[in-house]
Each structure stands twice: as structure tokens, then as C-alpha cells.
A and B are shown apart, each in its own frame.
Chain A
Amino acid sequence: AQSVTQLDSQVPVFEEAPVELRCNYSSSVSVYLFWYVQYPNQGLQLLLKYLSGSTLVKGINGFEAEFNKSQTSFHLRKPSVHISDTAEYFCAVSAISGAGSYQLTFGKGTKLSVIP
């Protein structure tokens, strides 16, 4: 079974500073990787995804993530954050399970607080 670890539960950062939210996963098979963002009182929405090809993927709102197979990581980065980026961010891994169907596993989330 796969697992997802988001190493930081909370990340405070000053406005216009860069940020990296870390995500590591474990899986014995090939994976698809996702980052979702949840704003207060809303559902999760897709930020970006890695399915195949280039290991650097770009998403909405200036975010990007890099898939590193050897490190089993998929860290999320933004060079300059804005107040509106304050939200909770979830990393998710999709991999085929022993039963032959795909299973999606979410990390526990990282709360990003942007300080003016």
C-alpha cells in the first residue's frame, strides 16, 4: 500500500518570499501525483498533477512541483507568495492497488500562512 508524508503541518512565510511545501511518498509501483489546495470553507481544488513526461510541472497561481523518483518526492514551490495563497495544501498519490484498481491516498495537509 502507498503512503504520503507531508513533512510540515504548518508553514508561515512572509509575503513575496519563496516557499516550498514538502511531500514524500512510498509506493512499490508507478504513481500519479497531485497537489490540491483548500481555501477556508471550500472543497479541495486541483493545483497541479504529474502523470508522465517532464518531471517539472506547472500549475495554477504560479505554483510548480518537481517529481523526483529517486527521492520519492513531489515538493511544491512558489518563488513569491501572495496573501491570497494562505490555504491548506494536500499532496496525493494515485497508484494501482493489490486488488487491481487505482487507490488515491492524501497526505495530512500543510497549512500555509502568508504574513503581510
Chain B
Amino acid sequence: DAGVIQSPRHEVTEMGQEVTLRCKPISGHNSLFWYRQTMMRGLELLIYFNNNVPIDDSGMPEDRFSAKMPNASFSTLKIQPSEPRDSAVYFCASSRPGTGRSPLHFGNGTRLTVT
């Protein structure tokens, strides 16, 4: 079990640039979550997928954010254009099917800095 793999670990970009964060969930997990963590707001759920289908994207801050899951082993979170207030640590997590009983397995995050 390699765990949830996120890339890159760190991303520094200039305001206005496009940023793409990547995630590979644990094999066999059918739910995938994207979270954002900041000092001010703590841990925020951005979007989650079940069986590659977006279920709830109400946490996506605005249209600049988009997420895709083209297959069971890969997801991306894209910010276009990026702004300094997007600076945060972005976590991907996955879980087994389990109707709320299954714990989340988190990746080590991508620390995004937008200057």
C-alpha cells in the first residue's frame, strides 16, 4: 500500500498563472476528496468524488477552481488564474466504500505559494 500520492510537494507560482495539482488515490478506494488547509480557515473540503463522479463541489471557492477525475487512479485540481489568496496546503484523501464508516487516508499535501 503506497498510500495517497500527491504531486508536486511544493509549488511556487506567480499570480495569474495556471496551477495543476495531482493525486493518485489508494487502489481500491472509490471516494476521493480535495481539502485546503490554511491557518485562518483550517481544513476545508473543496470537492469529493464517488466512483469518479463529482458529488459535492459546494466547497470550491469560485470558478477559478476546477477538479477532474478521469479514472479511478488519478485526479487533478486546477486553479486558473491563481491568486495570492490561494496560497495554502492542498490535501487529497481517499477512502474505501463504507457509507461513512471508512476513514480517510490523506496524502502529504501540496504546499502552494502564489506570489
- CB of B106 within 8 Å of the partner chain: yes
Among A43, A51, A106, which residue has its beta carbon within 8 angstroms of that of B108?
A43
In the bound assembly, the distance between CA atoms of A96 and B109 in angstroms comes to: 27
In the bound assembly, the distance between CA atoms of A51 and B93 in angstroms comes to: 20
In the bound assembly, the distance between CA atoms of A108 and B42 in angstroms comes to: 6
In the bound assembly, the distance between CA atoms of A109 and B99 in angstroms comes to: 24
CB-defined contacts of A36 to chain B, threshold 8 Å: 104, 106
Query: What's the least CB distance linking A91 to chain B, in Å?
Result: 11
- CB of A1 within 8 Å of the partner chain: no
CB-defined contacts of B104 to chain A, threshold 8 Å: 36, 44, 46, 104
In the bound assembly, the distance between CA atoms of A45 and B101 in angstroms comes to: 15
Interface size class on chain A is 20 to 34
Interface size on B, residues (CB 8 A): 18
Q: A43-B4, A106-B42, A106-B43 are in contact. Are A51 and B106 (CB under 8 A)?
A: no
CB-defined contacts of A34 to chain B, threshold 8 Å: 103
Decide: B91 and A32 in contact? CB cutoff 8 A: no
CB-defined contacts of A84 to chain B, threshold 8 Å: none
Among B55, B99, B107, which residue has its beta carbon within 8 angstroms of that of A43?
B107
Closest to A52 in B: B101
In the A-B complex, list the 7 residue pairs whose CB atoms are closest, starting with the nearest.
A102-B100, A43-B106, A94-B100, A46-B103, A44-B106, A108-B42, A106-B43
**13 pairs across A/B with beta carbons < 8 Å?**
A41-B108, A43-B91, A43-B108, A44-B93, A44-B106, A45-B105, A46-B104, A46-B105, A90-B43, A94-B101, A101-B55, A106-B42, A109-B42
